[in-house]
Amino acid sequence: MLTNDLLEKYSVSIPRYTSYPTVPEWTEEFTKEDFFSANDKANKNKSPISLYFHLPFCESQCYFCACNIVISKKRDIVNPYLLHIKKEIKNLSNFINKIRKVEQIHLGGGTPTYFNPDELKDFFSTIRENYNISKNCEIGVEVDPRVTTLDHLKTLSDLGFNRLSMGVQDFDPNVQVSVNRIQPYEDTKNLFNHARELGFESINVDLIYGLPYQTKESFSKTIDLVIKLNPDRIALFHYAHLPQLINHQAKHISSESLPSSDVKIKIFQHAVQSLTDNNYVFIGLDHFAKPDDELTQARKNKTLHRNFQGYTTKAQCDLYGFGITAISSIQNTFSQNLKKLNPYYDKIDLNELSIYRGFVLNKDDLLREEVIMKILCHGVIIKTEIEEKYNIDFGSYFSFELDKLKEFERDGLVCLDNNIEVTDTGQFFLRNIAGIFDFYLQRKNGKQKIYSKSI
């Protein structure tokens, strides 16, 4: 049973585990040879492909945001970026086996609809010309209802986009003012309705709890309004207040304006109850989906996967990232592009990779990655499966971890009989459970890192 005591106890700073090892462990020692070696292996395996494109521009700064974005109302920044990311797309395509099919495409940001419809058409034509896109490709885009027009939606639909991720965060006017994101419900509703009329297969909504001036009562109204919109998926994120790392948070959001831990717990509990009462299935971490959604089905049949866009059904894909700060996950490597525009432009102008850091996973990393992802995606670890695949004795290899999990078992979060099974209550603490198997987090001489709270 989800109680205040459990929420208080396990509300600690811990990674979100969109990768393992997590980004702070990656190093600048990662080389282009490491990248191309992984790509050669992927070509040999003819693995399917997921493409991510980071379009970083926004017209204004949302004060809660921790994404790598560029704020500007000046349109002259668009052309240089499009020229360079298109060149990056073309250059990398020369090294990718054309037999390999693209099964997933995602445009993130920033605000991809910062680009006008003609710019999006031109950009997407470059992708189509250089990659073998599957007929059943999942093509998604993040949209900001404040700047996304009906022409945007029509263009995206015509281009084959079938999924929308719509930022909402909170509909309360006072909260919106405090985070510099004025977004009336009616505007969001109108965009939502038009997207449905155009036939988008899936629309998901992003919410954030823990923002300034939120109360249980105010956020419950937001939840009620979101339920009326009837999205296919809902992401309920915990606001990560990191003023020591994010300047605009330090400048614009005071700690005194944030809801207390007790209030945040009440907000979270009520939101979870409301969503589950309205036929949304809790997938894990911060995601909810309808019972017939493919994420829900994937969790049931144990094919769910997790990457830098969150939960996905495309477990077998190698991920290639384009644009500033974009991340790639190819075979047993991770890599990340440069974060600033001009250094990124310089590398692309030289026809070079714009990677500045990455990581090559060793055998222990691969083993722990699989264990962590099974916790996050399936909620169970079948010990014999791990033992046979990695030729280990699970009890001996993970004796430290199993000992630490005993406290989780006493708290009713896991069952440690023959296997490791996450309980219904434990589903709310997946990051905490997964963190037990994180070698880099648990080691005594680990780097000092700052993560968001789990609850």
Average pLDDT, the chain: 93
Each residue's pLDDT tens digit, 130-150: 999 999 999 999 999 999 999
Strand partners, 322: 53
Q: Is pLDDT above 60 for 10?
A: yes
Least confident of 4-8, 230-234, 272-276, 360-364: 4-8
- CA separation (Å) from 202 to 17, 113, 134? 24, 18, 18
* Mean of pLDDT values over 297-308: 87
Quote the CA–CA distance of 187 and 420 in Å, as a whole number: 46
* Mean of pLDDT values over 422-428: 91
pTM above 0.75, yes or no: yes
Sign of the Cα pseudo-torsion (115, 121, 127, 129, in order): negative
247: which residues sit within 8 A by CB, 6+ positions away?
none
pLDDT value at residue 18: 86
* Mean of pLDDT values over 354-379: 96
**CATH architecture assignment, domain 363-440:** Orthogonal Bundle (1.10)
- CA separation (Å) from 435 to 10, 12, 15, 394, 454? 12, 11, 8, 17, 11
Strand, coil or helix: 141: strand
pLDDT value at residue 362: 97
For residue 379, whether the previous peptide bond is cis, meaning omega lies within 30 degrees of 0, is no
Quote the CA–CA distance of 266 and 254 in Å, as a whole number: 21
Give the model's confidence band at 455: pLDDT under 50 very low, under 70 low, under 90 confident, else very high. Answer: low
pLDDT greater at residue 26 or residue 15: 26
Residue with tokens 């499009």: 82
**Token duo for residue 114:** 């910062």
pLDDT value at residue 240: 87
Q: Is pLDDT above 80 for 311?
A: yes
Quote the CA–CA distance of 437 and 376 in Å, as a whole number: 12
Q: Quick check: 146 and 168 in contact, CB under 8 A?
A: no
Quote the CA–CA distance of 26 and 34 in Å, as a whole number: 13
Query: What are the boundaries of each domain within the chain?
Result: 22-322, 363-440
Q: Is pLDDT above 90 for 119?
A: yes
Report the run of H or E that residue 134 belongs to, with start and end.
Answer: strand 132-143
405: which residues sit within 8 A by CB, 6+ positions away?
414, 416, 420, 433, 436
Q: Quick check: 65 and 56 in contact, CB under 8 A?
A: no
Sheet (strand 318-322) strand order: 281-284, 287-289, 233-238, 202-209, 163-169, 132-143, 101-109, 49-55, 318-322, 327-330, 333-337, 355-360
Strand partners, 50: 104, 319
128: which residues sit within 8 A by CB, 6+ positions away?
none
Q: Is pLDDT above 90 for 314?
A: no
Quote the CA–CA distance of 313 and 303 in Å, as a whole number: 7
Q: Is pLDDT above 90 for 305?
A: no
Quote the CA–CA distance of 404 and 416 in Å, as a whole number: 11
3-state secondary structure 49-102: EEEEEEECEECCCCCCCCCCCEECCCHHHHHHHHHHHHHHHHHHHCCCCCCCEE
What are the residue ranges of helices labelled H in 138-182?
Answer: 150-159, 173-178
Superfamily of domain 22-322: tm_1862 like domain (3.80.30.20)
Residue with tokens 């921790």: 66
pLDDT value at residue 452: 59
Strand, coil or helix: 14: coil
Each residue's pLDDT tens digit, 67-85: 889 998 888 899 999 999 9
Q: What angle do CA 266, 374, 261 make, to 5 degrees?
A: 15
Using the 8-state DSSP alphabet, how is residue 13 labeled?
B
pLDDT value at residue 284: 81
Quote the CA–CA distance of 242 and 249 in Å, as a whole number: 7
